Amino acid sequence: MASATASDLQAPPPQSAPQGLSTSASTQFPTVNIGTRNSALALVQANAVKQALKDANPGRTFEVKPVMVQGDRDKITPLQQLSQGENSKSLWTGELEGMLEKGDLDIIVHCLKDMPTHLPDNLQLGAILEREDPSDALIISPRLPKETTLATLPQGATIGTSSVRRAAQLRKLYPHLKFADLRGNVGTRLGKLDAEDSQYSAIILATAGLNRIGFANRISQKLTSSTGGMLHAVGQGALAIETRKDDTSMLDMLSKIRCERTTRACGAERALLRTLEGGCSVPIGVETTWRGGKGLAVGTQPAKDYDKHGAAVEASEPDLDDQELVLKTLVVSVDGTEFVEHEAARKVRSAEEADDFGREVAAALVEKGAGKILEKIKIDKAWGAKKQLEAMGVAPGTA
């Protein structure tokens, strides 16, 4: 995962129309190639971005180019092992970024939570789009009563998840539950849950992905700080578009579809993560909301008011600069026995201020003891990787 810095999200310079070209001649521009992972959900997301770009940039053509990335090729190895060392930086993005740098792709559509902590020097986040529901979701086995929740799962019930963050938080809250690794796309995971001989009583997936791919009806319980006691991953629910820093034409197109609410909120989350030097396999949870406006969920625009005839009424919404961003955070040990929490709120009027806010919250967590928890996790992961290599007959440092 990456941190959104001010330089990541700087506004592109204004573009002038090429002299001598009419509006109709815009179709003569080359096709914009959109890179994405080769999965059903990734393709749905990439095509949604494609449509948004077409709507905002009429006359241009766009084509989605799916790529099988490293993290999708290995569906067996647990993510905690697969994301050791340098691999964690390119697990979901390495091949795509290489194609972007060479010019084979013009942009890449990412789930923001999957982006590495640091981007290549010549690449940047060109836009973050309006955020979907960032919560996690509990999906129960069809063999259990429909009203089952986390709190009512039977003693010793097994939850399927490949997320260290999710399992760590649940161990903290529900020590009577068991956990088993679960990899694969959304359909694969649901199939493993529904199988007659399934070991899983429930699984946990991102609400946003379920909504986007048409499986919202399978959600048994949304897990937030107030329902289920869960904080989501940094950037979860948001789509990010990566492009080359020198591609000013592309940056201009992307500026038309970016979401300022989501950009600022995720900027704070990602600055927090970068400062703590955490990755996708580290149990850091966040929850960001806006205070002072109508909209509560970050990136979700306020609901419209309607008159007695059902027509939408434009209601005044306080300016975003006048609202406060509330950032709840949690760092928890893998076994759930140690944890540090912190909550802060402040106005963030720019990407720079969001970045500063994230760093401030990270510093507060470290002061409370988060650094010790994360350092122990880092040491344990390194030791586990060393023992795994020894068991395979490979001397450490030679792999």
Active site residue ranges: 114
3-state secondary structure (DSSP) of residue 41? helix
The backbone region for 2, taken as left when phi is positive above 0, alpha when psi lies in -120 to 50, beta otherwise, is beta
What are the tokens at 336?
A: 């759930």
Q: What span, in angstroms and rounded, lies between the C-alpha atoms of 170 and 180?
A: 13
Residue 363 is which amino acid?
A: A
Render 362-397 in DSSP notation, one character per residue: HHHHHHHTHHHHHHHHHHHHHHHHHHHHHHTT--TT
Q: Are 148 and 255 a contacting pair, CB within 8 Å?
A: no
284, β-bridge pairs: 331
Closest CA to 116 of 3, 282, 260, 233: 3
Alpha helices in 246-338 (DSSP H): 248-254, 260-276
